Amino acid sequence: MFLSTTEEYTQTIFLKMIKHKTTGVNFWKPFFNDLNPFDTLDIEDVLKRYKDTICSFDQCKKQEEAGHYFLRITDDQLTDPRVKKLHTTFNHKNTNLNDLQIIKFEAYGKRVFKQNYDPNYIKRDMPNFQLRDGKVSPGFGTWNWKEYFERIDKGISSRENIYLEIPHKIIEDNLALLERAEGTNVPVIKKFIKEIEDTEEGFTDIDHVNNIIKEYDSIWKDWNFEFPILSYISIKRDGLLFPILGSISANSFPGNGLHRFAMTAYAKSDVPIILPKSKESRYYIRSKFKHYRQIDNEYTYLLLDVDTKKKVITFYLSSEDIIKECLGKYELF
């Protein structure tokens, strides 16, 4: 829907097109390090990398033995042999299908930034992120694998996926909203990160960090409601555990994962994403929601013009159907 518009738009700004250089992705574990932008991989390859990553923690093995699942698969889905294969391959033999509990554990350390936040103060069905931060989960608790394969059978989606990376500057400079929690303030979050990291101790002085949080809380209510500080520190120090993963559309980011977009970019790591591969060699991917910088008093989508033959991604901010601004392009040389 954007093709002719973006071609015309790109021609007009060709001489000043920004070429983004990637810094690469800082992964915590080694299981995604071999991937390069535009690589393709089957869903079972994706799952193996996720499983190897989470099973590198001792806590995961203990939970598996206790019957917790990696993939949420119910009895009625096992009638599809492809789902049954996934269950046999990726779920532990002890997985209890009659009492489904996902693998979930704390890998980042104790929650040290809880302040005196009220757990009963709820937005979007959740309390402040500092009260729920630090937990690691494989992330497949809402996936329906029978429906996944039905979409593939109908040609709606593909089990072949593409790996892409978004230069961190694209997100860092243009992301304006974190989810839809009123009060969460992206400029204040970035100011907070800079203030802490400009000190010699950085985030290692927990008491100092908590004092700064209290100071910010007194000025900006709910500024960090959707920003997990402990997780950000872990990504900055150790690296990102998983890429952002979508299962439904080749043309849209998943509706969740925005926190990883933000934290990864603010940590100066490029943002990795895995989506179903399009049937087209040139196609568009758009953010699920208008979370990006305002233009003409309207928040915008992030739009990616992906050319898999030339291995080029051009980035735009857009409304529903109008290109607002070109942010530059990334070329895999």
- Say how far apart CA 44 and CA 41 lie, in whole Å: 8
Please check whether residue 42 is in contact with residue 82, taking contact to mean a CB–CB distance below 8 angstroms: no
Helices (H), 22-110: 43-54, 58-65, 81-90
- Say how far apart CA 250 and CA 260 lie, in whole Å: 19
- What are 63-74's pLDDT values in tens digits? 999 999 999 999
For the chain, percent of residues with pLDDT exceeding 90 = 74
The answer to whether residue 309 scores a pLDDT higher than 90 is yes
DSSP secondary structure letter of residue 201 = S
User: 304, exposed or middle or buried, with CB in 10 Å at 0-12, 13-18, 19+?
Assistant: buried
pLDDT of residue 22: 67
pLDDT of residue 183: 56
- Say how far apart CA 249 and CA 139 lie, in whole Å: 17
Q: Which residue do the tokens 């080749």 mark?
A: 250
For the chain, percent of residues with pLDDT exceeding 70 = 92
pLDDT of residue 332: 65
The answer to whether residue 179 scores a pLDDT higher than 80 is no
Q: Tell me what the pLDDT averaged over the chain comes to.
A: 89
pLDDT of residue 333: 55
Which of these, 262, 321, 251, lies nearest to 291 by C-alpha position? 262
pLDDT of residue 20: 66
Tally of domains within the chain: 1
Which of these, 18, 285, 22, 331, lies nearest to 162 by C-alpha position? 285
- What are 255-270's pLDDT values in tens digits? 777 788 899 999 999 9
pLDDT of residue 12: 43
The answer to whether residue 177 scores a pLDDT higher than 50 is yes
- Say how far apart CA 26 and CA 30 lie, in whole Å: 10
pLDDT of residue 7: 52
Integer distance in angstroms from the first to the last C-alpha of the chain? 28
The answer to whether residue 5 scores a pLDDT higher than 60 is no
Strand (E) or helix (H) holding 315: strand 312-318
Which of 121-125, 294-298, 300-304 is predicted with the least confidence, judged by mean pLDDT? 121-125
pTM of the model: 0.90
- Say how far apart CA 269 and CA 234 lie, in whole Å: 13
- Say how far apart CA 192 and CA 63 lie, in whole Å: 36
Cα 1 to chain center, whole Å?
25
Residues 6+ apart with CB under 8 A from 268: 23, 168
Copy the structure tokens of residue 49.
């990398």
- Say how far apart CA 87 and CA 21 lie, in whole Å: 40
pLDDT of residue 76: 92
How big is the CA angle at 78 (ends 76 and 81), to the nearest 5 degrees? 145
- Say how far apart CA 277 and CA 174 lie, in whole Å: 26
Give residue 280's domain range: 3-331
- What are 106-162's pLDDT values in tens digits? 888 788 999 999 999 998 888 999 999 988 998 888 899 999 999 999 999 999 999
Which amino acid makes up residue 126? Answer: M
Please check whether residue 228 is in contact with residue 133, taking contact to mean a CB–CB distance below 8 angstroms: yes
